[in-house]
């Protein structure tokens, strides 16, 4: 297991380094921040001064060398826009996204597993068809569209919920529900499929023959076996959730890392983009590690 | 063919395409989905030719005209946008770009992903590992953000959009092909082909690929929906297709400022996206069964008793 984790970590580190190099040079192709941050009538001397202050004067390769050197001292550089350490800006935003993601994924996990199992148990009946239909819509609907339709309905016409921003619990309902829909639609189907497989296996027949009741059969005997593919899909959804977060945060004016990155790209705030990429990549890496651990808990055969 | 009159030979098989069509006709939901997709494809092919003019003709008296009224002619049945252009015509015309981007991205990612997957699965252990790592790198980062950066650097044209989306979807095909091949290549018929002296290329493309193709086709259908959603998200965020070109995602974005008083501007194009992706999802799950020789009987005639 340790060897596996080390190998995994090394591979992730290599891919992270590749990503940082790629993005470092790509973002510098988007243009000169000076054009955005100084007034149009700024003199050449002012421009020169601005570039020198932000270390944009040197050749690219020197800039890259300095960035890596600072990085090794855990210095992620400063945000041009906010004149603060980039990592602080990113971590503040990241906490918001993390909350959003954790709330959403917990809801998805609980509801998808329960509803998916019930679907498998009642396969082909009305309940199964209804849930399958809803999950199909969920998996097919564009999240930005759901978001604005929800705003029109619940915020403008009914006036129940705020349209955007942050604050009390009311502000969380719409973003969480919109983010919830797609992973829920996908995972319900995976749970259903894998539970149908598990419910028709011989050990369930044995359990039935012994007189075990339905509820323990679903939630004790089969669920654990059916969870492996579900956990895999959930892991893939962790990265996909960040895609959704970009859209949802932009629409609901939510100060998370997705919106921060879109803003940083548009504002050519290079250090913030890079720091955000590293933080999210690290989070996804941790998530994958947790999933491997979940495998170990669920399936003793892997432990060998 | 000379064995056709042999009494032991199975009844003459209809061509595979016809058999699939017959199966499709029997499944109402899948049939409806396929019909809708054919309609969308027809719109994409001929829409700009037939309605291109109507989609750009401004009619300032009909600004934000509400839907379900035939006063302004049948083209205005879905209402009009902020410049009085027919929404129906615009949706039909926008189908072309929407389909073009999705089809292009799916085609290239499937092609490159499958070939890489073939090599990763059939080639040596080292190559296989290296190619699989490549897939991990692409998968380990939210594709939307990478697309945003790339599209911001290079102009967001249809071609660039196709390239970016194709790259982010390559791992899907690569992983599937590799996993399937690792299993298939151990089977007896591959050994037999090897013994008979078939070249590597022949084994890969004539013996193994046809085994994997149905799965890939199913995944590609599903992925078409995903790519469509990704493109519309990008266009919605303002970094995908740029006006005056239109796609469904961009139409939703353009209707957003008018949500308060003209909900139909953003509603109809969104509905078009949902219906298309839903049809793709339905068709893909039907294909998963129809293309699988083990499960096909469920859809073939006379299998009612086991419905």
- pLDDT-derived band at B296, boundaries 50, 70, 90: low
The least confident of A128-142, B112-126, B133-147, B253-267 is: B133-147
Does A200 contact chain B (CB < 8 Å)?
no
As beta bridge partners, residue A78 has A85
Which H or E run contains A301?
none
Give which of A87, A105, A142 is closest to A280, Cα–Cα: A87
CA distance, residue A192 to nearest chain B CA (Å): 14
Measured CA distances, B307 to A76, A169, A191, B294, B297 (Å) = 61, 47, 22, 16, 10
pLDDT digit string (tens) for B111-161?
998 888 888 877 777 777 777 777 777 776 677 777 877 887 777 788 888
User: Can you tell me the distance from the alpha carbon of A3 to that of A7, in angstroms, rounded to the nearest whole number?
Assistant: 6
Q: Is the peptide bond before B244 cis (omega within 30 degrees of 0)?
A: yes
Predicted TM-score (pTM) above 0.90: no
CA geometry: angle A201, A206, A210, nearest 5 deg: 150
At B71, is the pLDDT very low, low, confident or very high (cuts 50, 70, 90)?
low
Taking CA atoms, A135 is separated from A139, A172, A187, in Å, by 6, 22, 9
CB A179 within 8 A of CB A248: yes
Residue B74, number of CB atoms within 10 A of its CB: 8
Tell me how far the alpha carbon of residue A221 is from its chain's centroid.
Answer: 31
pLDDT band at B297 (very low <50, low <70, confident <90, very high): low
Task: Say if domain B86-300 classifies as CATH 1.10.3720.10.
Answer: yes
Q: Supply angle C-alpha A258, A262, A264, rounded to 5.
A: 110
- At residue B107, the pLDDT reads 92
pLDDT at B1: 43
- B229 close to B277: Cβ distance less than 8 angstroms: yes
Number of H helices, E strands in chain A: 13, 0
Top mean pLDDT of A75-89, B47-61, B98-112 is at B98-112
Using the beta-carbon criterion (under 8 Å), do B142 and A242 form an inter-chain contact? yes
Residue B104: per-residue pLDDT = 92
Residue A298 zone, left/alpha/beta (φ > 0; ψ -120 to 50; rest): alpha
- Distance, in Å, from the CA atom of A202 to the CA atom of A214, rounded to the nearest integer, reads 15
For residue A147, pLDDT over 90 is answered with: no
Residue of B nearest to A30 (CA): B153
Q: Number of residue pairs across A and B with CB atoms under 8 Å?
A: 118
H or E stretch at A85: none
Verify whether the Cβ–Cβ distance B152 to A30 is below 8 Å.
yes
What is the 3-class SS of chain B, one letter each residue?
CHHHHCCCCCCCCCCHHHHHHHHHHHCHHHHHHHHHHHHHHHHHHHHHHHHHHHHHCCCHHHCCCCCCCCCCCHHHHHCECCCCCEHHHHHHHHHHHHHHHHHHHHHHHHHHHHHHHHHHHHCCHHHHHHHHHHHHHHHCCCHHHHHHHHHHHCCCCHHHHHHHHHHHHHHHHHHHHHHHHHHHCCCHHHHHHHHCCCCHHHHHHHHHHHHHHHHHHHHHHHHHHHHHHHHHHHHHHCCCCCCCCCCHHHHHHHHHHHCCCCCHHHHHHHHHHHHHHHHHHHHHHHHHHHCCCCCHHHCCCCCHHHC
Chain B interface test: which of A138, A145, A178 (most B C-beta within 10 Å): A145
- What distance in Å separates the CA atoms of residue B57 and residue B289, rounded to the nearest whole number? 46
CA–CA separation, B55 and B93 (whole Å): 7
A11 touches chain B (CB under 8 A): yes
Cβ atoms of residues B150 and B92 within 8 Å = no
> What is the pLDDT, as a whole number, of residue B33?
86
Residue B6 has pLDDT above 50, yes or no: no
Q: Which chain A residues are within 8 Å of B145, Cβ to Cβ? A: 242-243, 246, 258, 261, 277, 280
Integer-rounded Cα radius of gyration of chain B = 23
Among the partner-chain residues A27, A148, A258, the one whose CB lies closest to the CB of B149 is A27
B153 to A29: CB separation less than 8 angstroms, yes or no: yes
Distance CA A60, CA A29 (A): 11
Q: Which pLDDT value is given to residue B108? A: 93
- In degrees and rounded to multiples of 5, residue A7 shows phi and psi of -65, -45
Q: Which residue has the higher pLDDT, A293 or B4?
A: A293
**Which of A136, A145, A261 is facing B278, going by the closest CB pair?**
A136
In DSSP terms, B86 is beta-bridged to: B80
Nearest alpha carbon to residue A142 among A90, A114, A178, A192 = A178
Interface contact A246-B259, CB threshold 8 A: no
Task: Enumerate the residues of chain B whose CB falls inside 8 A of the CB of residue A289.
Answer: none
Residue B256: Cβ-neighbour burial (10 angstroms; 0-12, 13-18, 19+) = middle
Report which secondary-structure segment, H or E, holds A222.
none
Kindly state the average pLDDT of the residues A158-178. Answer: 75
- Is it the case that residue B58 has pLDDT exceeding 50? yes
Q: How far are the Cα atoms of A41, A61, B88, B91 from residue B260, in angstroms, in the given order?
A: 39, 51, 21, 21
Here the tokens at position B137 are 């790198």
Nearest-Cα residue of chain A relative to residue B264: A149
Domain A86-303 is classified in which CATH homologous superfamily? MetI-like (1.10.3720.10)
Query: How far is B233 from B229, CA to CA, in rounded Å?
Result: 6
Q: What is the pLDDT of residue A4?
A: 67
CA distance A266 to chain B (A): 8
- Give residue A251's pLDDT: 83
- The answer to whether the beta carbons of residues A181 and B274 sit under 8 Å apart is no
Tell whether the model's pLDDT for residue B306 goes beyond 50: no
Cβ contact, residue pair B144, A261, below 8 Å? no
The pLDDT of B73-82, averaged and rounded, is 70
Report pLDDT digits (tens) over A96-127. 888 888 888 888 888 888 888 888 888 778 88
A152 contacts in B (CB within 8 Å)?
259-260, 263
Nearest CA of chain B to the CA of A54: how many Å?
Answer: 21
Which of A52, A15, A14 lies closest to A33 in space, CA to CA?
A52
Residue B2 confidence (pLDDT) above 70: no
ipTM, two decimals, is 0.75
Whether residues A144 and B136 touch (CB distance < 8 A) is answered with no
CA distances from B107 to A155, A271, B245, B301 (A): 41, 36, 22, 33
Is some CB atom of chain B closer than 8 A to the CB atom of A136? yes
CB A154 within 8 A of CB A160: yes
Q: Residue B217: pLDDT band by 50, 70, 90 thresholds?
A: confident
Q: Which of B140, B237, B266 sits opposite A15 (nearest CB)?
A: B140
Residue range B91-121, pLDDT digits in tens: 888 888 888 888 999 999 999 988 888 888 7
8 Å CB contact of A148 and B259: yes
Higher pLDDT, A243 or B99: B99
The pLDDT, as a whole number, for residue B240 is: 79
Closest Cβ opposite residue A261 in set B145, B236, B280? B145
**Do the beta carbons of residue B132 and residue B262 sit within 8 Å?**
no
Nearest CA-CA distance, residue A153 and chain B, Å: 10
Q: Where are the domains of chain B?
A: 86-300
Over residues A143-153, mean pLDDT: 83
Q: How many angstroms separate the Cα of B191 from the Cα of each of A88, A209, B72, B110, B183? A: 59, 44, 69, 27, 13
Residue B300 has a pLDDT of 63
Closest-CA distance of chain A to residue B173, Å? 15
Residue of A nearest to B266 (CA): A145
- Which residues in chain A touch residue B266, judged by CB atoms under 8 angstroms apart? 145, 148-149
Query: What rounded mean pLDDT belongs to chain B?
Result: 78
Task: Assess whether pLDDT exceeds 70 at residue A162.
Answer: yes
CB contact under 8 A, B256 and A148: yes
Could you state, in order of their start, the residue ranges of all structural domains in chain A? 86-303
Interface check for A287 against chain B (CB to CB < 8 A): the answer is no
Q: Which residues of B lie closer than 8 Å to A, measured between beta carbons? A: 133, 136-137, 139-145, 148-150, 152-153, 225, 229-230, 232-233, 236-237, 249, 252, 256, 259-260, 263, 266-267, 270, 273-274, 277-278, 280-282
């Amino acid at each position: 297991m340790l060897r596996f984790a080390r190998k995994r970590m090394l591979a992730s580190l290599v891919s992270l380094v590749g990503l940082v190099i790629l993005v470092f040079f790509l973002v510098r192709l988007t243009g000169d921040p000076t054009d955005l941050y100084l007034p149009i009538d700024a003199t050449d001397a002012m421009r020169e001064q601005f570039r020198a202050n932000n270390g944009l004067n040197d050749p690219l390769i020197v800039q890259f060398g300095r960035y890596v050197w600072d990085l090794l001292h855990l210095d992620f550089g400063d945000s041009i826009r906010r004149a603060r350490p980039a990592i602080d800006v990113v971590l503040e935003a990241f906490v918001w996204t993390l909350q959003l993601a954790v709330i959403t994924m917990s809801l998805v996990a609980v509801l998808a597993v329960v509803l998916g199992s019930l679907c498998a148990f009642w396969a082909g009946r009305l309940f199964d068809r209804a849930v399958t239909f809803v999950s199909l819509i969920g998996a097919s609907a564009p999240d930005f569209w759901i978001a604005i339709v929800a705003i029109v309905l619940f915020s403008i016409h009914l006036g129940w919920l705020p349209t955007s921003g942050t604050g009390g619990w009311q502000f969380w309902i719409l973003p969480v529900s919109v983010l919830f829909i797609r992973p829920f639609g996908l995972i319900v189907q995976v749970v259903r499929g894998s539970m149908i497989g598990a419910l028709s296996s011989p050990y369930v027949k044995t359990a039935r023959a012994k007189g075990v009741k339905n509820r323990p059969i679903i939630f004790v005997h089969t669920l654990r076996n059916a969870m492996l593919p579900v956990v895999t899909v959930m892991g893939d959804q962790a990265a996909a959730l960040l895609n959704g977060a970009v859209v949802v945060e932009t629409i609901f004016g939510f100060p998370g890392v997705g919106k921060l990155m879109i803003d940083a790209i548009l504002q050519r705030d290079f250090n913030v983009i890079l720091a955000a990429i590293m933080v999210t990549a690290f989070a996804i890496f941790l998530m994958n590690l947790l999933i491997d651990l979940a495998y170990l808990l669920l399936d003793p055969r892997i432990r060998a | 063919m000379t064995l056709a009159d042999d009494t032991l030979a199975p009844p003459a098989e209809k061509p595979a395409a016809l058999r699939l069509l017959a199966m499709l006709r029997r499944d109402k939901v899948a049939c409806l989905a396929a019909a809708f997709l054919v309609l969308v494809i027809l719109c994409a092919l001929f829409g700009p030719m037939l309605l291109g003019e109507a989609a750009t003709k401004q009619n300032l008296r009909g600004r934000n005209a509400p839907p379900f009224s035939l006063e302004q002619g049948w083209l205005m049945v879905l209402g009009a946008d902020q410049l009085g252009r027919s929404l129906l015509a615009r949706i039909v015309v926008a189908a072309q770009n929407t389909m073009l981007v999705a089809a292009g991205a799916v085609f290239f990612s499937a092609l490159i992903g499958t070939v890489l997957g073939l090599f990763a699965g059939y080639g040596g252990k080292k190559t296989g590992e290296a190619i699989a790592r490549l897939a991990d790198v692409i998968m380990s980062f939210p594709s939307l953000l990478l697309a945003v950066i790339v599209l911001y650097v290079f102009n967001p044209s249809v071609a660039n959009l196709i390239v970016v989306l194709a790259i982010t979807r390559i791992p899907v095909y690569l992983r599937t092909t590799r996993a399937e091949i690792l299993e298939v290549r151990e089977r007896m018929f591959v050994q037999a082909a090897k013994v008979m002296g078939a070249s590597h290329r022949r084994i890969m493309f004539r013996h193994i690929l046809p085994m994997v193709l149905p799965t890939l086709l199913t995944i590609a259908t599903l992925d078409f929906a995903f790519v469509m959603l990704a493109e519309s998200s990008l266009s919605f965020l303002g970094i995908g297709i740029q006006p005056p070109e239109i796609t469904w995602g961009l139409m939703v974005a353009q209707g957003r400022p008018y949500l308060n008083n003209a909900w139909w501007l953003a509603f109809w194009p969104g509905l078009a996206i949902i219906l298309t992706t839903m049809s793709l999802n339905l068709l893909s799950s039907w294909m998963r069964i129809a293309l699988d020789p083990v499960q096909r009987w469920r859809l073939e005639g006379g299998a009612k008793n086991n419905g």
